[in-house]
Chain A
C-alpha cells in the first residue's frame, strides 16, 4: 500500500495558540504521517492531547488565535496554506468528507435529511433538476445505508445511528478522496459503534467504486477505484482496533507512536510506554489507569512530556525523544523480531548471528 502516493501527507505540522497574557499553548508539535488510498489511520489519544486540533487544522477550522507551521498536502493543495475561499470551495466536502462528532448537532434541525442531501448535492456535484436531485439524494442515502423511508424526517426524529448515517451520507456526496471522521462513535452503543466503523471501513475499501450509477458526482474522477483514505480521530481504542490499518498515538501534542494496527493491538503490542499504559487501561485488559495527568500544553517540560508518569524514565529522558522508526521514546518496549534485550548495542557480527 505504501507504493501508492499517499492521499494525505502531513509534514511537520504544528499548531500554537496564543493566549491572553502572552501564554503560548503547544497544541500540536511536529506531526508527520501519511494516509494512503484504501487505508485507515486511527489517531488516538485522550481528550486535550491535540488530536481534534490537528483535525481542525486540516479542515482550516482553527480559531483566529492559532498559528500553524508545516505542510499538509492533499493532492496539490497544502491545507495549511490554503485561504478560506479555497478551503470552502475545493477542500471541505470535495477533498475532505467530514464525518462529524455529533451528527445531530451538525445537521440543521429545521430541515429534513432529503433537503440536506439535495443542498449538498447541488453544492458539490453537477446534478441539477428536481427529478435528478431526488434520485441522487436517494442514491447518496443508500450508499450510507440510510433508509429511504426516513429521508423526509428531521434530525431530531432519527436515532443516534441513523443520524450518524445521515451525516456519513453527506460526507460521501462530494466523493472526496479523504474521509475525516472526528470521534464518530462518541456516545454510541457498542453495537452501533461496530456498525458505524464497519460502514466507514466499507467506504474506505470501496472508494469511489461504490458510486456505480455514475451520477455525475465525480469532482475527483482521478480517485476512481483507488479507494478512499480514512483518518479517524478517536479516543475509542476498540473502534480503532476494529478498523484501523495503522495507529498513531498522540500524547501532549506529539505523535509518540505510529505503527501497524495488528502489531499494536495484538503481539508484540505497543512500544511506547504511554501507548502500553493506554491499552492496559481497557476494561478487558488490566483496567489500571496510567498514574498522574498529562502535562499542560501551555507548560510542557523540556524533555519527554510523559516522563513524570513513566516507569521507564531515566536521565536520558530530559532530552525530547525523536520519532525513530515507529516510536518516540528513549527506552521503548522491545521491537518485534529476534532482537535480544541487550543492555549494550550488539556488534554487527553478533547481530547477524542473533
Chain B
C-alpha cells in the first residue's frame, strides 16, 4: 500500500505546486493520475517515488512512514520503485551504451551476479536488439531510448512503478508496446502502478482507475469527490 497523505510540495519556498493532496494506491493496483501540464501531478509522483521531499504531509509505504527522500532514503526503499519519465534524453546518461544504462541500477547496488542475463532478459521484453544495446543514446530514436529506460526501471524488480508521462513523446504503437511491457511485469510480480499523464483515453484503458488531479482530496475537502477514500482496504 502506498499512501500519500496531505502532501504539500514544491520547489520555491511558500509557492507549493502540490497543496495538501492525498492519494492511495493499493498493492497491485494501477492508478492513473490525469491532469493538465504544470498542475503539480509530476511533483506528486516524484514525492511518491522518493525523489522529492515534500514540505509537509506523510508518505506511508506498506504501513511505514517514509522519513528520508532521495539519496538519503534507505536503499531497500529506493529500490522498491522503478520510475520512467517523459523525456528519456533527460534521464539517460549520454555516455552509456544502452546495455550499461539498463544495468546501471544493478551495478549501483552491487548486484553483478547474473547481470548480463538480467539485462538480456529485459532487453528482449522491451524489444531491444543486441545491436541497439551496444549504442549510445544519441544513436537511437526516442522510442528506442524509452524502451531502455523502461528496462532500467524494471531491472531491480521494483514493487512500485511510477510512469510520469512515459509515452507522451511516443507514437501509438510504441505506446501500446511499452504499456504492454509494464502490464506483463505487473501481472508477473503484482507490482503497483502510478501512471501520470494527460491522455484520459490512454489512462482509462491502462489503469484500474483514473483520478483527475482536480478531484483529488485536497485543501481540507478530503474525499468529497466520490474517489475511494484514502483508508481503502487493500485487496490482498
Contact = CB atoms under 8 A, between A and B. Distances in A.
Interface stretch (B14-22, B58-66, B136-144): B136-144
A191 B36 contact: yes
A281 B200 contact: no
A189 B205 contact: no
A206 to B, nearest CB: 28
A47 B170 CA distance: 7
B176 A293 contact: no
A288 B198 CA distance: 20
Contact of B199 (A283, A287, A289): A283
B102 to A, nearest CB: 16
Interface of A: 45-48, 159-160, 186-192, 235, 237-238, 277-279, 281-284, 287-290, 292-293, 296
Given A188-B37, A283-B201, A283-B206, A235 B170 contact: yes
B96 interface: no
B205 A283 contact: yes
A160 B175 contact: no
Contacts of B177: 281, 289-290
A104 to B, nearest CB: 11
A290 B174 CA distance: 8
B227 interface: no
Contacts of A290: 173, 177
Contacts of A296: 131
B174 A46 contact: yes
B229 interface: no
Contacts of B205: 283-284, 287
Given A48-B143, A287-B205, A190 B199 contact: yes
B86 A187 contact: yes
Contacts of A287: 176, 179, 205
Contacts of B236: none
A188 B168 CA distance: 9
B176 A283 contact: yes
A46 B172 CA distance: 8
Nearest to B204: A283
Contacts of B171: 45-47, 235, 278, 281
A293 B180 CA distance: 15
Contacts of A48: 141-144
Report whether over half of chain B's contact residues are helix, strand or loop; otherwise say mixed: helix
B176 A288 contact: yes
Contacts of A277: 173
Contacts of B202: 283
B38 A190 contact: no
B185 to A, nearest CB: 15
A277 B141 CA distance: 20
Contacts of B128: 293
Interface string B178-214: 0110000000000000000011111011100000000
B127 interface: yes
Given A48-B143, A283-B199, A293-B144, A186 B173 contact: no
A292 B171 CA distance: 14
Interface string B115-144: 000000000000111011000000001111
Nearest to A234: B171
A278 B168 contact: no
B173 A192 contact: no
Given A289-B177, A290-B173, A160 B38 contact: yes
Contacts of A278: 171-173
A142 to B, nearest CB: 24
Contacts of A188: 37, 198
B186 to A, nearest CB: 15
B57 to A, nearest CB: 26
Given A235-B170, A278-B173, A282-B172, 5 more contacts: A189-B35, A189-B36, A281-B172, A283-B176, A296-B131
A307 B177 CA distance: 19
B73 interface: no
Contacts of B100: none
A160 B201 CA distance: 21
Contacts of B173: 46, 277-278, 281, 289-290
A293 B143 CA distance: 10
A278 B143 CA distance: 14
